[in-house]
Amino acid sequence: MIIDTHAHYDNERFKADRHELLKALPENGVEKIINIGCDLKTSKASVKLAEKYDYVFATVGVHPHYVKGLADEIVKELTAMCENKKVVGFGEIGLDFFHNHSPQGTQRMWFKRLLKLTAELNLPAIIHSRDANDDVFEMISASTVRRGVVHAFSGDAALATAYVEMGFHIGIGGVVTFKKTDILKEAVAAVPLDKILLETDCPYLSPEPHRGTRNESPNISHIAKVVAEIKNETPENICNQTAQNAQQLFGI
């Protein structure tokens, strides 16, 4: 059983064969996927895909890249979308101090507000954190959000353990298969298996041996293989347990 907990099948890179890929997922071993919203447009697209396919679920949210254009009217529209039963999480939300497409002060302001909204909606949070691990952790700690996933986790074992103790899951994707990622592998080793989720972030971050190509959900098998080596488990057990984790967190 494979559940891809972070995908972007609404992305333009899937324009030519999006529905062929999605229709073929079950026969390729992928039982469910969660398509992630990054702004109003992609959130709407995610919900539309979830309504079309029984095994696709959606989140809505605003990625830190796009909060510079965020307004209360958009937040109200996103909030209303959460009434849809196929919407199972809020995000991705967070901070990105690598690209800084939105000013850092604006990112912090909206992250605080969106965390509050996530708690009010009682939905799991999908957290984006890039070059901002300390700030993200401090802001979540100051909020009442205690359920969700730190997507594409990039911290060390201590940070991963602190998130788990707070109630969060850790999202592991293709980066764990790359060379020179010992710190991430140590974090995976430290996290209990029942707190790990597998994700592709497709079309981005393809694992080895497909690095540099368009990522797709079946590639989770390569991620599971590396996690299995770290955890001294079989890939099948990794897939099954992480799928159960996703089902419990997102209620799918």
For 35-101, the DSSP string reads: EPP-SHHHHHHHHHHHHH-TTEEEEE---GGGGGG--HHHHHHHHHHTTSTTEEEEEEEEEETTT-S
pTM beyond 0.75, yes or no: yes
Q: How far apart are CA 233 and CA 225, in angstroms?
A: 9
Per-residue pLDDT averaged across 51-80, rounded? 98
Tokens of 12: 């333009």
Backbone angles phi, psi at 209, to 5 degrees: -95, 20
- The residues, any chain, with a CB within 8 Å of residue 221's CB and separated by 6 or more, are 2, 29, 235, 239
Q: Give φ, ψ of 205 to 5 degrees.
A: 55, 50
Q: How many CB atoms lie within 10 A of CB 80?
A: 10
How far, in Å, CA of 169 to CA of 195, rounded?
5
Query: For residues 149-164, b (16+ Cβ closer than 10 Å) or e, as one string?
Result: bbbbbbbebebbbebb
Which two three-digit tokens encode residue 199?
């994700």
Q: SS3 of 123, please?
A: coil
Chain segment 154-204, per-residue pLDDT in tens: 999 999 999 999 999 999 999 999 999 999 999 999 999 999 999 999 999
User: In the structure, what pLDDT confidence band is assigned to residue 24 with cuts at 50, 70 and 90?
Assistant: very high
pLDDT for 160-172, tens place per residue?
999 999 999 999 9
Rounded to the nearest 10 degrees, what angle do helices 157-166 and 133-142 cross at?
A: 20
